[in-house]
C-alpha cells in the first residue's frame, strides 16, 4: 500500500463507520444520490450526485435539496451515536442537472467531539436504533387514529424549524386527497420524461431489487412484480377496458385504511429553505416512528403541478410569498413494511484525491 493510500484510509476510517449507518437515509425513488468525500479524519464534503437526481419532475431541483436536508438530519443522528456533533457549512448554490461537474457540493461538515452524560449516550443509541428501523410503509393502514398528543409533538418539532405540520382526519377530505394521489400516478404516466424516469427506478423482481440495491421494488410497493411490469411497460393498459380497472384496483387496494394525512407548510423559496424543509421532514418522520407510527410520503402530489394545485385547494394551504405546502404523506399504523435495499456504503464514499 502506498503512503498516500494509507493516509486516505486513516482519513476515512471514522467516515466509513458513520456512512455504514447513514447510508440508510431515505431518498425519492430510493435513488441514493448523496456522496461523502472525507477531507480529514473529522471533516468531509457532502455532495449530491446529479446523475442520481430526478430531473424530469417539475420540482426536481427543490427536492434534490430536500434530500440533502434529509441526509443532514440522518448524519446528525448517526454522528451523535458515535459521540460527535456535526458542524455544517452549507453551500446554498443552485443545483444544475446539466452541470459538467456531476457532483454538486452542498456542505462541508466537521465532526466535533461531544461530552456525554451516561443518559445522553443511551439516548443517542436509541435514536440511532430508531433511524435504523425507520421504513416507508405502503401497506394498508389500520383504522386506528394516531393520538393528538403524538401529533402535537410532531407539530412542535416542525414549528421549531419554522414549518407548520398540519393534518386531517376528515373522511371526505382524506378521500379527496387519496384520489388526487392516485390520479397523480396516472397523470405522471402520460408525461414521457416522468414516465421514463419512473421506469428507470422500478425494480420488478426481488432479485433485481437486491442486485441493484436501489430504486422502488415491486415488493416495497406491494404489487406483484409481473403485474407491475405489464402495467408499467404498456402505459395504454391503464386506460384499456377490463384490464385498466383491474390494474387500478390492485394499486388502490394498497391504500386501504388511510384515516389521516399530514402535510408540511412553510418557507420553500430557495436552496436554504429546501434543505431546512428536508431536515424538518426527517425529524418529524423519526418522531412519528418513535411512537410506532408509519408514514408514506406522497411527494409526487407536490412535484406534479396539477395535483399540487388540487391538493393545496382541498386543504386550503397557506401558500404564496415564498411559502408552500411542500410535503404530503399518509400516516398511521401498519404491519412492518418490506425492506428497501441500499447500495453498499462503500459506494457512498468518494475517496479519490481532488484539487481543492
Ligand atoms: C423527499 C422524499 C419524497 C418521497 N416521495 C415519495 C413518493 O412520492 N411516493 C412514494 O411512494 N415514496 C416516496 N418517498 C419514499 C422513498 O421512496 C423511500 O424513502 C425510499 O424508497 C427508501 O425506502 P425506505 O424509506 O423504506 O427506507 C419519498 C421519500 C423522500 C425522502
Q: What is the mean pLDDT of the chain?
A: 93
Q: How many domains does the chain have?
A: 2
pTM reported for the whole predicted model: 0.95
Parallel, antiparallel or unpaired: strands 43-49 and 84-90: unpaired
Range of the domain at 52: 3-135
Percentage of the chain exceeding pLDDT 70: 96
Residue 262 lies in a domain: yes
- Residue 6 has a pLDDT of 62
Between 244 and 89, whose confidence is greater?
A: 89
Q: Mark which of 135, 162, 195 sits at the end of a domain.
A: 135
Closest CA relative to residue 109, chosen from 66, 154, 74: 74
Do both 42 and 162 map to the same domain? no
Query: What is the band of 356 on the pLDDT scale with cuts at 50, 70, 90?
Result: very low
Do both 93 and 223 map to the same domain? no
Instruction: Give the whole-angstrom CA distance, residue 109 versus residue 39.
Output: 10
Secondary structure of the chain: what % helix, strand, coil (to 5)? 50, 20, 30
pLDDT tens digits along 161-218 = 999 999 999 999 999 999 999 889 888 888 999 999 999 999 999 999 999 999 999 9
Would the pLDDT of 118 be above 90?
A: yes
Residue 249 lies in a domain: yes
Do both 222 and 111 map to the same domain? no
Residue 276 lies in a domain: yes
Instruction: Name residues whose C-beta falls within 8 Å of residue 48's C-beta, 6 or more positions apart in sequence.
Output: 33, 34, 35, 64, 67, 68, 95, 103, 104, 106
pLDDT tens digits along 260-299 = 999 999 999 999 999 999 999 999 999 999 999 999 999 9
Is any ligand 1 atom within 6 A of the Cβ of residue 25? no
Do both 39 and 112 map to the same domain? yes
Closest CA relative to residue 345, chosen from 125, 22, 5, 14: 22
Do both 130 and 170 map to the same domain? no
Q: Residue 28: left if φ>0, alpha if ψ -120 to 50, beta else—which one? A: beta
What is the Å distance from ligand 1's center to 34 Cα?
15
Cell of 118: 451516561
Cell of 76: 446528525
Written as one string, the DSSP assignment of 128-173 is HHHHHH--B--SPPPSPPPPHHHHHHHHHHHHHTT-EEEEE--HHH
Mean pLDDT, residues 222-248 taken together? 83
What is the Å distance from ligand 1's center to 259 Cα?
20
Mean pLDDT, residues 306-332 taken together? 97
Which of 180, 201, 294, 297 has most ligand 1 atoms within 8 Å of CB, for mutation?
Answer: 297
Is any ligand 1 atom within 6 A of the Cβ of residue 26? yes
Do both 164 and 248 map to the same domain? yes
Mean pLDDT, residues 64-86 taken together? 98
Residue 338 lies in a domain: no
Do both 152 and 214 map to the same domain? yes
Angle, in degrees to the nearest 10, between helices 243-253 and 171-190: 130
Amino acid at each position: 500500500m502506498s503512503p498516500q493510500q494509507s493516509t486516505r484510509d486513516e482519513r476515512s476510517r471514522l467516515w466509513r463507520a458513520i456512512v455504514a449507518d447513514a447510508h440508510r437515509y431515505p431518498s425519492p425513488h430510493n435513488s441514493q444520490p448523496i456522496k461523502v468525500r472525507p477531507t480529514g479524519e473529522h471533516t468531509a464534503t457532502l455532495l449530491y450526485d446529479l446523475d442520481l437526481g430526478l430531473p424530469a419532475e417539475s420540482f426536481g431541483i427543490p427536492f434534490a435539496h430536500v434530500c440533502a436536508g434529509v441526509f443532514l438530519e440522518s448524519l446528525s443522528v448517526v454522528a451523535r451515536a458515535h459521540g460527535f456533533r456535526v458542524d455544517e457549512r452549507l453551500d446554498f448554490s443552485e443545483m444544475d442537472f446539466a452541470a459538467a461537474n456531476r457532483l454538486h457540493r452542498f456542505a462541508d461538515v466537521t465532526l466535533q467531539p461531544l461530552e456525554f452524560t451516561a443518559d445522553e449516550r443511551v439516548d443517542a443509541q436509541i435514536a440511532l436504533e430508531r433511524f435504523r428501523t425507520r421504513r416507508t410503509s405502503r401497506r394498508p393502514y389500520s383504522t386506528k387514529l394516531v393520538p393528538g398528543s403524538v401529533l402535537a409533538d410532531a407539530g412542535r418539532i416542525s414549528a421549531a424549524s419554522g414549518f407548520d405540520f398540519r393534518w386531517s382526519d376528515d373522511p371526505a377530505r382524506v378521500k379527496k386527497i387519496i384520489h388526487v394521489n392516485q390520479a397523480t400516478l396516472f397523470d405522471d404516466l402520460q408525461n414521457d420524461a416522468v414516465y421514463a424516469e419512473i421506469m428507470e427506478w422500478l425494480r420488478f423482481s426481488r432479485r433485481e431489487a437486491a442486485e441493484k440495491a436501489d430504486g422502488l421494488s415491486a415488493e416495497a410497493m406491494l404489487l406483484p412484480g409481473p403485474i407491475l411490469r405489464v402495467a408499467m411497460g404498456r402505459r395504454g393498459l391503464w386506460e384499456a377496458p377490463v384490464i385498466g380497472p383491474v390494474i387500478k384496483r390492485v394499486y388502490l387496494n394498497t391504500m386501504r385504511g388511510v384515516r389521516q394525512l399530514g402535510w408540511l407548510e412553510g418557507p420553500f423559496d430557495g436552496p436554504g429553505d429546501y434543505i431546512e424543509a428536508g431536515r424538518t421532514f426527517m425529524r418529524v418522520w423519526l418522531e412519528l416512528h418513535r411512537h410506532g407510527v408509519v408514514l408514506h410520503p406522497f411527494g409526487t402530489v407536490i412535484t406534479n403541478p396539477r395535483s399540487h394545485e388540487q391538493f393545496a385547494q382541498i386543504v386550503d394551504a397557506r401558500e404564496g410569498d415564498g411559502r408552500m405546502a411542500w410535503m404530503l404523506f399518509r400516516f398511521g399504523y401498519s404491519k412492518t413494511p418490506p425492506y428497501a435495499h441500499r447500495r453498499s456504503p462503500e459506494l457512498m464514499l468518494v475517496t479519490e484525491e481532488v484539487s481543492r
